[in-house]
Structure 1
Amino acid sequence: MMKKMISTTLLSILCLTVTACGSGNNNGNVKGPTTPANSPSAAAPAANEPVKNEKLIVYTNANSDGRGEWIIEKAKSAGFEIELVGAGGANLTNRLIAEKNNPIADVVFGLNNMLYENLKKEKVLTKYVPKWAGEVEPGLNDPEGFYHGLVKQAILLGYNPKNYTTETAPKDWTDLYKNPAFKGKYEAPTLLGQITPQLVVAGILTRHQDPKGELGISKEGWNEVKQLFDNGVRAVEGEDFYANLASGKTPLGAVVSGTLSKKEEQYKVKAGIVSPQIGVPMIVEHAAIVNGTKKKATAERFVEWMGTADVQGEFAAKFNSMPANTKAAAKANESVKALYSNLKAQPLDWGFIANNIGKWVEKIELQIMK
Structure 2
Amino acid sequence: MKNFKKFLSLILVALLLLITACSNEESSKDDSGDAEKETVNRDEKLIVYTNANSDGRGEWLVEKAKEEGFNIEIVGAGGGDLTNRLISEKANPVADVVYGLNHMFFEQLQAEDVLIPYEPKWAGEVEEGINDPDNYYHGLVKVALIMAYNADVVDSVDLAKGYLEIADNADFKGVYQARDDLGAATSKVIVASILSNFADPNGELGISDEGWKYIEKFYENGVQIPEGEDYYSMLSSGKAPIGTIISGELAAKIEQYGVEPSFIHPEQGTPQVVESVAIVKGTKKEALAQEFIDWMGSADVQGEFAAQFNAMPANVEARDNVTDFLKEVFADVKQQDIDWEFVTENIDAWVEKLELEIF
Scaled to the shorter chain, the TM-score interval is 0.7 to 0.9
CA distance 1:182–1:300, change in 2 (3 Å)? same
Q: What is the deviation of 1:118? A: 1.9
C-alpha RMSD of matched pairs (Å): 3.5
The residue aligned with 1:129 is 119
Which structure 1 segments of 5+ residues have no match?
Answer: 1-8, 25-33
Q: How many residues align?
A: 349
Whether 2:340 is the aligned partner of 1:350: answer yes
**Aligned position for 2:7:** none
Residue type matched to 1:58 in 2? Answer: I
Contact 2:62 2:74 in 1 (8 A): no
Which stretches in structure 2 are left out of the alignment for 5+ residues? 1-9
- Greater CA deviation, 262-271 or 200-209? 262-271
Inter-partner Cα distance in structure 1 for 2:191 and 2:83:
21
- The residue number in structure 1 matching 2:3 is none
What secondary structure, in the 3-state scheme, does the structure 1 residue paired with 2:151 have? coil
The residue type equivalent to 2:105 in the other structure is L
Residues 77/163 of structure 1: CA separation in 2 closer, same or farther (3 Å cut): closer
Match among 312, 318, 328 for residue 338 of structure 1: 328
Say which is worse superposed, 84-93 or 155-164, in terms of deviation. Answer: 84-93
Tell me which moved more, 324-333 or 308-317: 324-333
Displacement after TM superposition at 1:77 (Å): 4.5
Q: Does 1:60 align with 2:70?
A: no
How far off its partner does 1:23 sit? 2.7
Matched residue, 1:87: 76
Q: Secondary structure at the match of 1:227?
A: helix
**CA 1:243 to 1:145, structure 2 compared with 1: closer, same or farther past 3 Å?**
same
Cα distance, 1:275 vs structure 2: 1.9
One-letter identity of the residue aligned with 1:236:
P
**How much does 1:17 deviate?**
9.4
Superposition misfits of 4+ residues, deviation over 4 angstroms: 15-22, 163-166
Query: Corresponding residue for 1:324?
Result: 314
Give 3-state SS (helix, strand or coil) of 2:305's partner: helix
Where 1:23 maps in the other structure, the secondary structure is: helix
**1:201-350 mapped onto 2 (5 Å cutoff):** 201-350=191-340
Whether the 8 Å CA contact 1:156–1:274 is kept in 2: the answer is: yes
- CA pair 225-310 structure 1, distance change in 2 beyond 3 A: same
From the two aligned structures, give the one with the greater helix fraction.
2
Aligned to 2:24: 23
Shift of 1:242: 2.5
Q: Deviations over 1:315-341 (max 9, x none)?
A: 111222221212212202221121122
Amino acid at match of 1:359: A
1:170 and 2:171 aligned: no
Shift of 1:123: 0.4
Question: Is the 2:58–2:74 Cα contact (8 Å) retained in structure 1?
Answer: no
TM-score (norm 2): 0.83
Where does 1:5-154 land on structure 2 (aligned, <5 Å)? 23=24, 35=27, 37=29, 43-45=33-35, 51-54=38-41, 55=44, 57-61=46-50, 62-78=52-68, 80-88=69-77, 89-154=79-144
- Give the 3-state SS of the residue equivalent to 1:45 in structure 2: helix
Are the equivalent residues in 2 in contact too, given 1:56–1:106 (CA < 8 A)?
no
Counting aligned pairs with the same residue, the percent is 46
Q: Is the 8 A contact 1:309 1:325 kept in 2?
A: yes
Deviation string for 1:56-79 (max 9, x for gaps)? 52322234444334334433454x
